Amino acid sequence: MQTAHGRIETPVFMPVGTQGTVKGVLPEALHALGAQIILANTYHLYLRPGHELVHQLGGLHRFMNWSGPILTDSGGFQVFSLGDLCKISEEGVSFQSHLDGSRHHLTPELSIEIQQALDADIIMVFDECIPYPAERAYVATSTDRSARWARRCREALPAGGEKALFGIVQGGMFEDLRLRSAQQLIDIGFEGYALGGLSVGEEAETMYQVMAYALPLLPADAPRYVMGVGTPENLIEGIARGCDMFDCVMPTRNARNGVLFTRQGKLSIKQARYRSDEQPLDPQCDCYVCQNYSRAYLRHLFQSGEILASVLNTQHNLHYYQQLMGEVRAAITQGRFDDFRRDFYRLRQAS
């Protein structure tokens, strides 16, 4: 993909910078780790510091000192996660701020206005992230309303400019509703398409089933993005089913909780067995952390509550995710993705 702030090779994993920062990592380190694009959060930046201020200060790239592409979500997921604090209508959503209790009304048009002010390269339509489980009647009503909101977003941001607008396929876990949603969005026309409403509590196999029947419905010449996903296994299975783009807080959040990703699987650094372990986190990893620090030291930092624990753990986890995507891209280019996928699971089984 080509954007105003650079080229993106896919499949790609996007680190999440909710409030204009990927927690625990300098922008320069993100570049060094191989991050091509990051995600920022419309809802949070709208409430604090405010999209007008970010625009006044030169846009989000300048504000946070990130020169690469940025994708902003629409704010829908965060608003609807407020539960009883939000009220849905055809016009949009009224909600109460989790920061100070102030009342706000977010519409598809305002969501686009906010994301344009932030100067995002990829903008997401405003939609409702349907909870799981949900009754079919509710899912159908919500999905159709999200399609109408998507059309309003397209009208607010016409095609042909520098910014790409992505539609979001809803429909819950119902195959026919996913098909209907995909067709509604294709009829409107977007620069890319996403699957929303996944990784909301369903079993992994259910998620993979939705990917398997929904992703092939989307145009082959447009990026396909599965939102909020996920584990390294989720990424491999999503790619096998045709996904190009992923985002998730998992590598950064897990890092802050002492859970690290390695080629052999997850490692919990807080465990007592690592107290005097001189090995690196992953002997096969070439990241800065694995080249310079032992498991024993990383456990000591975590047990001591040191800020450096979060910094180093986050750097390692993000390196792992970016390296994984780089290896996948190489395997696809060389026509050996199926072999790569088998080896990925074989290493985990061996450990």
Distances from the Cα of 180 to the Cα of 18, 136, 169, 191, angstroms: 31, 13, 9, 19
In a domain, 73, yes or no: yes
Whether residues 230 and 283 fall in one domain? no
- Name the domain count of the chain: 2
What does the pLDDT read at residue 77? 77
State the Cα–Cα distance between residues 222 and 37, nearest whole angstrom: 17
In a domain, 332, yes or no: yes
Whether residues 57 and 201 fall in one domain? yes
In a domain, 215, yes or no: yes
What does the pLDDT read at residue 78? 80
Whether residues 243 and 323 fall in one domain? no
Whether residues 161 and 271 fall in one domain? no
The domain boundary residue, chosen from 248, 269, 302: 248
Write out the H or E segment, with its range, that includes residue 193.
strand 192-195
What does the pLDDT read at residue 349? 84
Whether residues 169 and 231 fall in one domain? yes
The domain boundary residue, chosen from 184, 217, 248: 248
In a domain, 207, yes or no: yes
pTM (predicted TM-score): 0.96
Whether residues 98 and 136 fall in one domain? yes
In a domain, 4, yes or no: no
Whether residues 104 and 211 fall in one domain? yes
Active site residues: 73, 247
Whether residues 196 and 270 fall in one domain? no
pLDDT (tens place) for every residue of the chain, 351 residues total: 999 999 999 999 999 999 999 999 999 999 999 999 999 999 999 999 999 999 999 999 999 999 999 999 988 778 777 777 789 999 999 989 989 999 999 999 999 999 999 999 999 999 998 989 999 999 999 999 999 999 999 999 999 999 999 999 999 999 999 999 999 999 999 999 999 999 999 999 999 999 999 999 999 999 999 999 999 999 999 999 999 999 999 999 999 999 999 999 999 999 999 999 999 999 999 999 999 999 999 999 999 999 999 999 999 999 999 999 999 999 999 999 999 999 999 999 876
In a domain, 3, yes or no: no
CATH number of domain containing 208: 3.20.20.105
In a domain, 2, yes or no: no
The domain boundary residue, chosen from 206, 228, 248: 248
Whether residues 230 and 267 fall in one domain? no
Q: Which domain holds residue 18?
A: 9-248
Question: CA torsion angle for 213, 217, 218, 221 (degrees, to 10)?
Answer: 110
Q: What is the DSSP letter of 140?
A: H
Whether residues 69 and 189 fall in one domain? yes
What does the pLDDT read at residue 54? 98
In a domain, 1, yes or no: no
State the Cα–Cα distance between residues 269 and 128, nearest whole angstrom: 37
What does the pLDDT read at residue 265? 95
Whether residues 21 and 141 fall in one domain? yes
Whether residues 20 and 142 fall in one domain? yes
